[in-house]
């Protein structure tokens, strides 16, 4: 079963004035959402049990497809995005080499998940 990347994040409530227009459009006074938590910065020693595979980004590639291929679970797409410092697929160019860390279990340990 996949481990949610939100499991360590707290749920916070937002009702700041800067969001008033959005809140009004939604007909609510506040929104509950996950807080942002930075990932652990990986050090070389954290990666001693990890193999890094190269993948050439193609037109039809999507993070979730690569996660399904390499991890057998598309919900781990965020690991590939994180590892390449490219949160959006639009950040990548066709033909660009991206890094795929494997095995999944070791990356989760390195990220303290």
Averaged over successive runs of 10 residues, the pLDDT of the chain (113 residues) comes to 69 82 89 72 84 97 98 96 92 97 92 82
Instruction: Answer yes or no: do 19 and 49 share one domain.
Output: no
The alpha carbon of residue 57 and the mean position of all alpha carbons in its chain are separated, in whole angstroms, by 17
Question: What's residue 20's pLDDT?
Answer: 86
pLDDT at 2: 66
Q: Which domain holds residue 68?
A: 44-110
pLDDT for position 33:
78
Residues 57 and 16 in one domain: no
Number of structural domains the chain divides into: 2
15 shares its domain with 50: no
- Residue 80's Cβ-count burial label (10 Å; 0-12, 13-18, 19+) is buried
Note whether 14 and 30 are within 8 A (CB): yes
* Structure confidence at residue 101 (pLDDT): 96
Note whether 2 and 52 are same-domain residues: no
Q: How many helices (H) and strands (E) does the chain have?
A: 4, 4
How many alpha carbons fall within 13 Å on the CB side of residue 24?
6
The model's pTM is 0.69
Q: What is the pLDDT of residue 32?
A: 85
């Amino acid at each position: 079963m996949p481990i949610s990347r939100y499991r360590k994040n707290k749920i916070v409530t937002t009702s700041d004035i800067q969001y008033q227009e959005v809140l009004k459009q939604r007909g609510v006074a506040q929104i509950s959402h996950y807080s942002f938590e930075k990932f652990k910065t990986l050090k070389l020693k954290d990666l001693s049990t990890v193999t890094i595979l190269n993948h050439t980004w193609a037109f039809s590639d999507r993070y979730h497809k690569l996660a399904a291929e390499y991890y057998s679970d598309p919900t781990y797409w965020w690991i590939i995005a994180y590892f390449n410092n490219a949160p959006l697929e639009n950040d990548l160019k066709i033909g660009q080499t991206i890094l795929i860390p494997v095995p999944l279990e070791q990356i989760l340990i390195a990220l303290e998940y």
